[in-house]
Homo-oligomer: A and B are copies of this chain.
Amino acid sequence: MSHAVIGKNRLEAFSDGVLAIVITIMVLELKVPHGNSFSSLEGLLPVFMSYVLSFVYIAIYWNNHHHMIHTCKSVNGSILWANLHLLFWLSLIPFTTGWMGENHFAPTPTFLYGVNLLFAAISYFILQRSIISAQGLDSILKKAIGRDRKRNISTFLYMTAIAVSLWLPFFALSLYTFVALIWIVPDKRIEQVYK
């Protein structure tokens, strides 16, 4: 068993661990309310909705991360750090989610949530580049991704959402939701290349 294979397994295990914790501790922001009637849940509705949105986002990242790492044969230092960089931005999701939810999608928290999503997307892109460059000329991942329209569209939508979030937070929110829907389908392109 070579160095590379072990490294990849531990990178997957560590990433799975961090993502599993991120997705689960977000529920701690859903603070148990003091009353015991349905009306005491009302204030929690926006917190719950942001929880659902972020749960889906982390699930998408886990899913695509899984497909992307699958194309790796070896893991080098820059892949390791690019991966940690991605995990850093994802680890902030519980915080930005909580702030947005507790303030019922007020402009500034909705803006910050978008910035967090954008940085996560950028760090995912950097990780992709690191893997492609490690795979060299006949990179499976490069072939699979092709022109990468999905990424370009998402980046454009994130930036639009961030730009308008301070005036129209609910419009920004629907753009975030729309991007999630685009990505909910796992990266068919990679499955394609393997066939």
Instruction: Give the interface of A toward B (CB within 8 A).
Output: 3, 6-7, 10, 12-14, 16-25, 27-30, 32-33, 36-38, 41, 52, 55, 59, 62-63, 66, 70, 77, 80-81, 84, 87-88, 91-92, 94-95, 98-99, 102-103, 106-109, 112, 184-186, 188, 191, 194
Contact of A20 among B18, B28, B33, B185 (CB under 8 A): B18
CA distance A6 to B188 in the complex (A): 16
Instruction: Say yes or no: B3 contacts A70, CB within 8 Å.
Output: yes
How many chain copies does the complex carry? 4
- 9 tightest CB-CB pairs across the interface, nearest first? A17-B20, A36-B103, A36-B106, A21-B24, A32-B98, A59-B84, A30-B95, A18-B20, A32-B99
